Structure 1
Amino acid sequence: MASKQKDMRRLDLAIPYVDPPKNKDDADMSGAMSSTMPMAAMFTRNRMIGWVSFVFSLQSWLGESPEQKKNASTPAYMSVLMSLMALVVTYFPIFMPPPAGQSNPVATPSPSP
C-alpha cells in the first residue's frame, strides 16, 4: 500500500512545454512521397504501391495544415486524384486485357531449314 506522504512538488515551479519553432527550410517529405508514389505504382504496375500511395496521399490531404495549404505548389487533393489514377492504371488489365496476339512482344526466331 502506498504511503500517505505530502506531495513535495511545487506547482509554481512547473514550466509548461512549448513546441520549438519550425524551421522554414524543412522539406515537406509527405508531399514529396504522396506525389512520387503514384508514379512508381503506374510505372511498375504494382497494386500494393498503388494502394499505399492512395492511403498515404489521403492522410496527407486530411492532415494538411493551413500553412501547408498556403505554401504548397499544388493542392493536396491533386495527389489523391493522382493516386486514384494509379489504381485505375494498375487494375486496367483486369477489365480490358491485352489482345491474345500481342501478349508476347518478343519475336521468336523461325527454325532453320
Structure 2
Amino acid sequence: MATQKDMRRPDLIVPYQAPATKEDTADFSSSIASTLPMAAMLTRNKFVGWASFIFSLQTWLGESAEAKVNSGTPSLFSVGMAFMALAVTYLPMFLPPTGKAASPAQAA
C-alpha cells in the first residue's frame, strides 16, 4: 500500500493565469464627486457642500495616471463644481432674498 503510483501527468498541468481586468469598470469615487455638489446646490446644505468639496479634492489628489486616461472629465472640473456648490450654499448669507413673507394674519 505504501507504493502507490502517482497518477498525475505533467503534460496535463495548466499554469495559472490571472483574469484580465475589466476596462469598463465604473469609477465610484468620480460618480460621488460629481453628484454630491449637485445635491448640495439642490438642498443648499452647507455640510453637504463642504463634504463634496473635500471629497472631490481628495479624488483629484489621489487620481492615478490610468484614471486620468479612462475618465470622461478631469477631476479638476469636479473640484470646480464642488467650489461652486459651496458658493451657492453661502450665497443667501451675502445676498439675502428680497421677497417679503406674508404675516400669518394677512395669510388668513
- Do both proteins adopt the same fold according to a TM-score greater than 0.5, normalized to the shorter chain? yes
The alpha-carbon distance between structure 1 residues 109 and 51, as it changes in their structure 2 partners (threshold 3 A), is: same
Aligned to 1:3: none
What does residue 45 of structure 1 align with? 44
Q: Tell me the equivalent position of 1:92.
A: 91
Report runs of 4+ in structure 1 exceeding 4 Å deviation.
108-111
- TM score, norm. by length of structure 1: 0.70
1:20-70 C-alpha deviation (Å, 9 max, x unpaired): 864323210000000000000000000000000000000000000000000
Please, what TM-score do these two structures have when normalized by structure 2?
A: 0.73
Report the residue type matching 1:83 in the other structure.
Answer: A
Identity of aligned residues (%): 52
Counterpart amino acid of residue 36 in structure 1: T
- The answer for unaligned runs of 5 or more in structure 1 is 1-19
Helix, strand or coil for the counterpart of 2:67? Answer: helix
Which protein is bigger by CA-based radius of gyration? 2
* AA in 1 matched with 2:29: S
Hey, what's the Cα distance between the residues in 2 that align with 1:58 and 1:28?
16
Q: Distance in 2 between matches of 1:93 and 1:54?
A: 19
CA distance in 2, matches of 1:57, 1:103: 37
Q: List alignment gaps of at least 5 residues for structure 2.
A: 1-18
- Is 1:77 aligned with 2:76? yes
Matched, 1:104 2:101: yes
Q: Which secondary structure state, in structure 2, belongs to the residue aligned with residue 74 of structure 1?
A: coil
Count matched residues.
90
Distance in 2 separating the partners of 1:45 and 1:91: 8
Distance in 1 separating the partners of 2:24 and 2:83: 30
